[in-house]
């Protein structure tokens, strides 16, 4: 297995080097090396999952403080496998996408580095390796977010937000992990876990909260999500697929690592906090997804929404564990993982599709698109599959996750603990609310972008994605269908991944059965029945048409209230589609509307100009971050007198700081 690790790392490094140095066949060869690297990691993960034994390897001479330490547990292997699948698809996709963007040296090398670091983070066996890989992941993705900075000023702003949030998060994680390592006198995770029993409650809680804040910001949890819609939208297609399909997962991995593995005896309120964060995130994410008109921003908010649902399941699991309901706890943890893997599959499908749309039309604004299904048939079908999967429509994989979440919450409510009951009820409310809003968001995303008539020249001039892009999208969409129809493909892998953490909770090939809890579902049979019924009805329709002598379908102009010519501008747009939701949730979303009417000077009865402006900026950004930033700026202006540019003064500051540190440390 060491060879597989070597293959992963060497191929990954080769991809970085080839991307950075070569100018001939830069993208195809680095992509090939990345596919090899990811395949190596995937094989390694599958081996660990199949045997259920950890894979360990260490090299103390490379890094200080414990050195490089790889320890792949089944749980880590699950995350590696998911990252590898998304990485393979994104790398294949990249070879076609490079004609559009992301063909330069820095972008190629960063993409390879980003992919490799995503594969290494869940393999880390000590704090040093973890933080090292984590930082590489953050920095390489930052370069990719900013890669289009010469043409788009928005991407600079997005990169700035991302840089601050991700580095702040990494700081919090570092504090927590280094603190834990200092307490355990070892950087190894296994040593930290053993030593954690001697940790006092308050100290453990402090570390947990720091780690939670850091990992939650990576997972796009409200209120630390503000970077996510910006960065995911600005990043190029394959990068946003990787960010949303693999990187945000690692935030959840971190929460499980700290909350369940390193500090297993956490008090109940930790998980209450996690549940609360999850519910809020799901609701806010779904609301903004339903009202966005930027295709990738919509997908990014939906990522927040889905991570919120994962945290709901994770919280329910922790709460059930603390109230002595281990079976429900196992079920909820498995649910969290199923939701997570599902999300990776369908969201990377969707982001690759959105990337193809952007490459073909140069626009992400759905109000400018439309009618793409005729020009991009395969992309439209894969996007539809992803959209239906995220809306939890059977028989696609999202449905299994939603069903399991409902079951977990139902059974967690059976406990007699007040906190669990309140959390469970709120969780069901959040889940139900997001379910409906997600349907709006994705009917809009697919319907406005791909159906109807093209609204602008850009949309009318679109062309289908290249072969490699279609292969990647098609493969991921097929995975969504396969894991939906035969959920064992997914549930079985998840069960193996959780082998050391939780008892098996779901069984069955064609029928999902909850072990020792009531609940069963047969997606396979359900899809068969649906297909059969579909064939029956279609047969009836054809038969009836034929019997009455109609050979074809009459194509007619659509009805336009007696108007003959209907322009594409008359169609409903993404803005108008989400407008009812904006109105219903007016108090929460606080949209900014401005109507400016100027009259003709001679007569007030005639209008000269009407200007209407509406923006739907993130309410948390406006009411939490903007004031905080303004405060920070004012404060910074005040302390500017301290920094007058004199080197002597700065040296004196340094001396003073040193003295203070020496005094503190004695």
Partner 1 sequence: MKSTLLWSGIASLAQLIWLVLAGPLALGLMRKVRSVIEGRDGARVTQPLRDLRKLAARQRTRPTDATWIFSAAPLVLVASALVLGALSPLASLHVLMSSRVDVVAVLFVLLLGSVALLLSALDTGTAFAGMGSSRAAMVGAMTEPALLVAILAMSLGAGTSNLARLVDAGVATSTLAGPARILALVSFFIAVLAETGRLPVDNPATHLELTMIHEAMILEYAGPDLALITWGESMRLVLLVGLFSNLALPWGIATSVGALSLGVGLLALTLKVAVVAIGVSLFEVTTAKLRLFRVPELLAGAFLLGVLSVISAVALR
Residues 131-160, interacting with partner 1 (CB under 8 A): none
- CA nearest 72: which of 18, 25, 23, 133? 133
The distance of closest approach from Cβ of residue 14 to partner 1 in the complex, given in angstroms and rounded to an integer, is 44
User: Binders of partner 1 among 12-71, rule CB under 8 A?
Assistant: none
- Cα angle value 196/498/176 (rounded, 5°): 30
Q: Which of 203, 529, 631, 656 binds partner 1 (CB under 8 A)?
A: 529
| DSSP secondary structure letter of residue 236 | -
Q: Which of 29, 443, 460, 481 binds partner 1 (CB under 8 A)?
A: 443
The distance of closest approach from Cβ of residue 91 to partner 1 in the complex, given in angstroms and rounded to an integer, is 31
Rounded CA separation 260/329 (Å)? 12
Q: Which stretch binds partner 1 (CB under 8 A): 467-475, 568-576, 615-623, 637-645?
A: 568-576
Contacts of 493 (CB under 8 A, 6+ apart): 49, 78, 81, 341
* Of residues 227 and 301, the one with the C-beta less far from partner 1: 301
CA-to-CA dists, residue 134 to 137, 167, 239, 344, 514, angstroms = 5, 10, 16, 19, 36
User: Binders of partner 1 among 342-401, rule CB under 8 A?
Assistant: 370-371, 373-374, 388, 391-394, 399
User: Binders of partner 1 among 533-552, rule CB under 8 A?
Assistant: 533-534, 536-538, 541, 544-545, 548, 550
614 near partner 1 (CB under 8 A): no
Q: Which stretch binds partner 1 (CB under 8 A): 110-118, 144-152, 268-276, 578-586?
A: 578-586
Residue 47 near residue 32, CB atoms below 8 Å: no
Task: Provide the CA 555 distance to its chain's centre, in angstroms.
Answer: 42
The packing angle between helices 2-21 and 105-120, to 10°, is 160
Q: Which of 28, 168, 326, 568 binds partner 1 (CB under 8 A)?
A: 568
Q: Which stretch binds partner 1 (CB under 8 A): 302-310, 325-333, 570-578, 599-607?
A: 570-578
Compose the 396-425 pattern: x for residues touching partner 1 by CB under 8 A, - for all others: ---x--xx--xx-xx--xx------x---x
Residue 409 near residue 431, CB atoms below 8 Å: yes
Rounded CA separation 372/380 (Å)? 7
Compose the 271-310 pattern: x for residues touching partner 1 by CB under 8 A, - for all others: -------------------x--------------------
Could you give phi then psi for residue 71, rounded to 5 degrees? -145, 100
Q: Which of 1, 46, 566, 620 binds partner 1 (CB under 8 A)?
A: 566
655 near partner 1 (CB under 8 A): no
* Of residues 97 and 446, the one with the C-beta less far from partner 1: 446
* Of residues 568 and 591, the one with the C-beta less far from partner 1: 568
* Of residues 183 and 453, the one with the C-beta less far from partner 1: 453
Rounded CA separation 274/313 (Å)? 9
According to DSSP, the residues that pair with 592 across neighbouring strands are 615
The distance of closest approach from Cβ of residue 605 to partner 1 in the complex, given in angstroms and rounded to an integer, is 26
Rounded CA separation 473/481 (Å)? 13
Q: Which of 79, 571, 589, 618 binds partner 1 (CB under 8 A)?
A: 571
| DSSP secondary structure letter of residue 640 | G
Residue 443 in tokens: 């009917």
Q: Which stretch binds partner 1 (CB under 8 A): 147-155, 304-312, 426-434, 471-479?
A: 426-434
CA Rg, the chain, in Å?
26
Residue 454 near residue 380, CB atoms below 8 Å: no
461 near partner 1 (CB under 8 A): no
Could you tell me how many residues of this chain bind partner 1 (CB under 8 A)? 81
């Amino acid at each position: 297995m060491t060879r597989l690790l070597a293959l992963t790392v060497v191929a990954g490094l080769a991809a970085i080097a080839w991307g950075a140095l070569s100018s001939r066949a830069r993208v195809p060869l680095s992509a090939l090396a990345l596919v090899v690297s990811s395949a190596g990691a995937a094989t390694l993960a599958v081996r660990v999952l199949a045997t259920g034994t950890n894979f360990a390897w260490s090299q103390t001479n490379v890094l200080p403080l414990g050195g490089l330490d790889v320890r792949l547990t089944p749980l880590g292997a699950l995350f590696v496998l998911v990252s590898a699948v998304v990485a393979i698809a994104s790398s294949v996709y990249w070879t076609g996408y490079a004609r559009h963007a992301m063909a330069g040296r820095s972008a190629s090398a960063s993409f390879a580095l980003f992919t490799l670091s995503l594969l290494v983070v869940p393999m880390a066996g000590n704090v040093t390796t973890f933080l090292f890989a984590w930082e590489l992941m953050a920095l390489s993705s930052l370069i990719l977010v900013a890669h289009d900075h010469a043409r788009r000023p928005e991407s600079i702003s997005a990169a700035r937000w991302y840089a601050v949030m991700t580095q702040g998060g990494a700081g919090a994680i570092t504090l927590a992990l280094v603190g834990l390592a200092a307490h355990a006198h070892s950087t190894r995770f296994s040593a930290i876990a053993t030593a954690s029993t001697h940790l006092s409650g308050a100290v453990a809680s402090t570390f947990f909260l720091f780690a939670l804040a850091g990992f939650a910001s990576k997972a796009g949890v409200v209120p630390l999500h503000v970077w996510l819609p910006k960065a995911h939208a600005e990043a190029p297609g394959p990068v946003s697929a990787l960010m949303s399909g693999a990187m945000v997962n690692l935030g959840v991995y971190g929460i499980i690592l700290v909350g369940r593995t390193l500090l297993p005896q956490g008090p109940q309120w930790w998980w209450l906090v996690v549940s609360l964060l999850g519910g809020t995130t799901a609701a806010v994410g779904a609301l903004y997804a339903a009202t966005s008109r930027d295709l990738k921003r919509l997908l990014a908010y939906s990522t927040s929404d889905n991570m919120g649902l994962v945290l709901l399941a994770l919280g329910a699991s922790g709460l059930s564990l603390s109230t002595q309901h281990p079976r429900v706890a196992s079920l909820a943890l498995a649910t969290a993982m199923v939701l997570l893997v599902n999300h990776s599959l369908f969201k990377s499908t969707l982001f690759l599709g959105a990337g193809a749309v952007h490459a073909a039309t140069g626009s992400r604004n759905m109000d400018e698109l439309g009618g793409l299904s005729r020009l991009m048939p395969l992309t439209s079908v894969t996007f539809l599959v992803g959209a239906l999967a995220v809306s939890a429509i059977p028989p696609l994989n999202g449905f299994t996750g939603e069903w399991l979440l409902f079951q977990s919450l139902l059974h967690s409510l059976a406990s007699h603990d007040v906190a669990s009951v309140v959390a469970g009820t709120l969780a069901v409310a959040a889940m139900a609310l997001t379910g409906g809003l997600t349907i709006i968001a994705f009917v809009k995303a697919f319907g406005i972008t791909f159906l109807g008539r093209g609204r602008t020249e850009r949309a009318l001039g679109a062309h289908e994605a290249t072969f490699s892009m279609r292969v990647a999208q098609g493969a991921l969409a097929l995975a969504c269908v396969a894991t939906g129809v035969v959920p064992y493909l997914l549930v079985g892998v998840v069960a193996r991944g959780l082998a050391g953490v939780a008892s098996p909770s779901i069984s069955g090939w064609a029928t999902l059965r909850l072990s020792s809890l009531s609940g069963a579902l047969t997606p396979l049979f359900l899809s068969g029945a649906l297909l059969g019924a579909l064939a029956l009805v279609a047969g009836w329709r054809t038969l009836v048409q034929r019997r009455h002598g109609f050979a074809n379908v009459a194509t007619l102009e659509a009805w336009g209230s007696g108007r003959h010519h209907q322009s594409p501008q008359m169609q409903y747009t993404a803005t108008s589609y989400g407008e009812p939701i904006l109105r219903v949730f007016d108090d929460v979303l606080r949209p900014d509307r401005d109507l400016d009417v100027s009259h003709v000077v001679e007569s007030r009865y005639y209008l000269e100009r009407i200007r209407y402006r509406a923006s739907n900026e993130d309410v948390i950004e406006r009411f939490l971050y903007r004031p905080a930033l303004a405060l920070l700026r004012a404060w910074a202006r005040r302390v500017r007198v301290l920094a007058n540019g004199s080197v002597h003064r700065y040296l004196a500051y340094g001396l003073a700081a040193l003295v203070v540190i020496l005094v503190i440390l004695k």
